[in-house]
Structure 1
C-alpha cells in the first residue's frame, strides 16, 4: 500500500517561539513559560533554564508574537523563527510525491 502525503498550503507560515535567555527574573519567566505551555511549575523551570529551547512549535505568527512579548515582559530574551518547509519524501525517480 502506497503512502499518501498532502501538502497544505496556507497564508500563515507556522512559527516557533525560542527562549534564548531567561534573564535575571527567572521565576517570572518560569510563570510565563508555565502559562504558555501548560506544563507543571517544575517542568517549566527546567525548560526555562535549559536555553536555547523551543517553547512553542508551529503556532500562528500572531500567537508567537504574543508569546515573545509576554516572555520579554518578564525579562527574558526570546524570538520567533519561521518553521522550515518539511521535506517531502522522494519517489524512486527522484521526484517528490504529493
Structure 2
C-alpha cells in the first residue's frame, strides 16, 4: 500500500477575532463576548480584562467581521487577523 499526500486548498482563509482594548464599557463588551462565545458573564469579563485576547479562532471572514463590528459598537477595539498557514503546508 502506498501513501498519498493531498494538499487541501481553501478559498476561505480562517480568521481570528482579537480584542485589543475593551474600552470604558467593560461590562457591555463582556455581554457581547458572552453572546459570541457562549460563556458565563463572569468568564466573559475575565477574558475581556486580559487583553490582547483571542475571542474567536478559525472562523470565516464574514463571521469575524460581524464579531468585530459587534465589539466596536459597544466601544471596544478589536481586529481580525488571518491565521498563518501551518509550517507543513509551506513550500
Flag whether TM exceeds 0.5 (same fold): yes
Q: Would you identify which runs of 4 or more consecutive aligned residues in structure 1 move more than 3 Å?
A: 4-7
Shift of 1:6: 5.3
Q: Are 1:75 and 2:71 matched, yes or no?
A: no
The root-mean-square deviation of aligned C-alpha atoms, in Å, is: 1.9
Distance change (3 Å), C-alpha of 1:6 and 1:33: farther
Looking at secondary structure, tell me which structure has more helix per residue: 2
TM-score (norm 1): 0.83
Q: How does 1:26-41 map to 2 (within 5 A)?
A: 26-41=26-41
Q: Mind listing any 5+ residue stretches in structure 2 that lack a counterpart? A: none
Alignment of structure 1 residues 82-93 onto 2, 5 Å: 82-88=82-88
Query: How many angstroms apart in 2 are the aligned matches of 1:25 and 1:48?
Result: 11
Query: What's the TM-score, normalizing by structure 2?
Result: 0.89
Structure 2 partner of 1:93? none
The count of residues paired between Structure 1 and Structure 2 equals: 88
Matched with 2:57 is 57
Point out where structure 1 has 5 or more consecutive residues left out of the alignment: 90-95
